[in-house]
Chains A and B, each alone.
Chain A
Amino acid sequence: MNTKTDPDLDAMIHAFVDGELDAQAEQAARAQMETDPAAAQRAHDYRRQGDALHDLYDDVLSEPLAAEMRAALNAPVGRSSRSFWNAPVWRMAAAIALFVAGGFGGWWSHAVTGPDTSMALAQSSPYVSRAIGAHVVYAAEVRHPVEVAASEEQHLIKWLSARLGRDVHAPKLAEAGFELVGGRLLPDDAKPAAQFMYENRTGQRVTLYVSLNGAPADTSFRIVEQDGTSAIYWLEDGLGYALAGDLPREDMLKIARLVYDALIA
């Protein structure tokens, strides 16, 4: 009973049912329904689907709020790890660029390569898989996404630099709409690694992973995908970087370039 129709008619019927048409188009749609019983039947069926959904679920609207929701709404704002969002100082903090001491060759002119297969990835740069794993675990964390929040960025940077034995800072990604949430120290095959987490205004998160397990040779950008999360990674001056997230590839590349630009700034 799923009759094939031409795409324009198809789109028109849905837009008609959903009130997405302007006055003129709506009039045309009504005229079509008058003379096209199949189209009228479909519009009718779609509306009934909506009615059935309302009948099924509208009772939820009158349920009292769950106690936990009321508690969250009544909780005081601005507890330690959250207060920085309300302070103007984060703008300044986020302006500090990530910088790793050392020479930066002309690899930027290299073409972006990839995507790698997981197999090749596992052999060439095993830290990337751990970077993706850490992203999947911590990006989903609501209460404790980071160990040290961006409000304590100076402490965060000093601490991570000391533990990695390299100077690290957090790049500014505001141009891509992302703000620093904070960072954490992670084990990376018996060596320490740093993870910086960023979030945009809709709650999407990307993480930047800095590993000591990079091979000596520098590389261009490579892209790998694993379980729906993608990572752009590259090696530079003995450090391995991986930017992990699930944004479209162009967005990921844009952010990776911002990170790289911050590195050479």
Chain B
Amino acid sequence: MDVRHLIAAELPRLRRYARALMAGDIHGADDLVQQALERALERPHLFQPGTSLRAWLFTILHNVNANNRRKLAARPREVWDEDVPETAFAVAPDAPGKLELRDMARALDQLPLEQRETVLLVSLEGLSYKEISEVLNVPIGTVMSRLARGRDRLRDLMQSTPVTPTLRRVK
């Protein structure tokens, strides 16, 4: 069994998560995934068989991101016009059903990083609370409180819609 094939199979999910985490910044998100991928490929033996490969990869991605942010924070930051993220949320305002999506993308971007990570790992990636506590290296209680705060913040930021029978997404 070649672990590379297994890692390759997880890449689309890592990219989706990174894209959402970085507010649609395609280049920044793919750079992050690339760094995490290279680190995973350099150290495949550090993966413990019998544990979740997906959770391991998300953990590496999280740690790489944390390192990058620290590195940026420690240096003077230059901001160029080209650095403005490519947030491709250009939907027609009157397109039915689209308004909420745009609101969601904006609302997500307003969450503190820790809440954004947690909400995305739960609601987009479907990781268990336990897996997330390992990925983020925090207790499960912290995962739950970040999730609760993040989701409630999103509720406040987004338009409320009344309960109606809707199709349930099957993950």
**Residue A265 at the B interface, CB < 8 A?**
no
**A55-101: which residues lie under 8 A (CB-CB) from chain B?**
55-58, 60-63, 65-66, 68-69, 72-73, 75, 77, 82, 85-86
How far does the Cβ of B144 sit from chain A's closest Cβ, in whole Å? 6
Smallest Cβ-Cβ distance to A44: which chain B residue: B163
Q: Is the CB of B34 within 8 A of A66?
A: yes
Interface string of B1-15 (1 = CB under 8 A from A): 000100110011101
Smallest Cβ-Cβ distance to B162: which chain A residue: A41
**A46: B residues at CB distance < 8 A:** 123, 151, 155
Complex: A228 Cα to B74 Cα, angstroms:
10
* A69/B43 contact (C-beta < 8 A), A2-B152, A142-B64, A202-B63 known: no
Q: Is the CB of A77 within 8 A of B41?
A: yes
Complex: A260 Cα to B44 Cα, angstroms:
30
Complex: A246 Cα to B105 Cα, angstroms:
30
Q: Which of A131-139, A157-165, A209-217, A234-242 contacts B (4 or more CB under 8 A)?
A: A131-139
Q: Is the CB of A50 within 8 A of B163?
A: no
Q: Is the CB of A20 within 8 A of B151?
A: no
Q: Is the CB of A69 within 8 A of B33?
A: yes
Contact of B147 among A14, A42, A136, A246 (CB under 8 A): A14
**Residue B113 at the A interface, CB < 8 A?**
no
**A37: B residues at CB distance < 8 A:** 163
**B13-72: which residues lie under 8 A (CB-CB) from chain A?**
13, 15-16, 19-20, 30, 33-35, 37-39, 41-43, 45-48, 56, 59-60, 63-64, 66-68, 70-71
Chain B: interface residue total (CB-CB under 8 A): 65
Contact of B67 among A15, A52, A140 (CB under 8 A): A140
Q: Is the CB of A72 within 8 A of B34?
A: yes
Complex: A2 Cα to B16 Cα, angstroms:
29
* A85/B42 contact (C-beta < 8 A), A72-B34, A136-B70 known: yes
Sorting the interface of chain A by its residue count into under 10, 10 to 19, 20 to 34 or 35 or more gives: 35 or more
Q: Is the CB of A52 within 8 A of B148?
A: no
* A203/B43 contact (C-beta < 8 A), A60-B15, A72-B34, A227-B74 known: yes
Contact of A63 among B12, B34, B73, B161 (CB under 8 A): B12
Q: Is the CB of A52 within 8 A of B104?
A: yes
Contact of B63 among A63, A204, A227 (CB under 8 A): A204
What are 13 A-B pairs with beta-carbon distances under 8 A?
A14-B144, A41-B163, A45-B155, A51-B166, A56-B20, A56-B104, A57-B20, A61-B16, A65-B12, A66-B34, A143-B38, A202-B63, A203-B60
Residues of B within 8 A of A (CB): 4, 7-8, 11-13, 15-16, 19-20, 30, 33-35, 37-39, 41-43, 45-48, 56, 59-60, 63-64, 66-68, 70-71, 73-74, 100-101, 104-105, 108, 119-120, 122-124, 128-129, 137, 144, 147-148, 151-152, 154-156, 158, 160-163, 166, 168-169
Residues of A within 8 A of B (CB): 1-2, 10-11, 14-15, 18, 20, 37, 40-42, 44-58, 60-63, 65-66, 68-69, 72-73, 75, 77, 82, 85-86, 133, 136-137, 139-140, 142-143, 199, 201-205, 227-229, 246
Pairs A-B, 10 closest by C-beta atoms: A50-B123, A201-B46, A140-B67, A60-B16, A52-B104, A140-B71, A53-B124, A203-B63, A61-B12, A202-B59
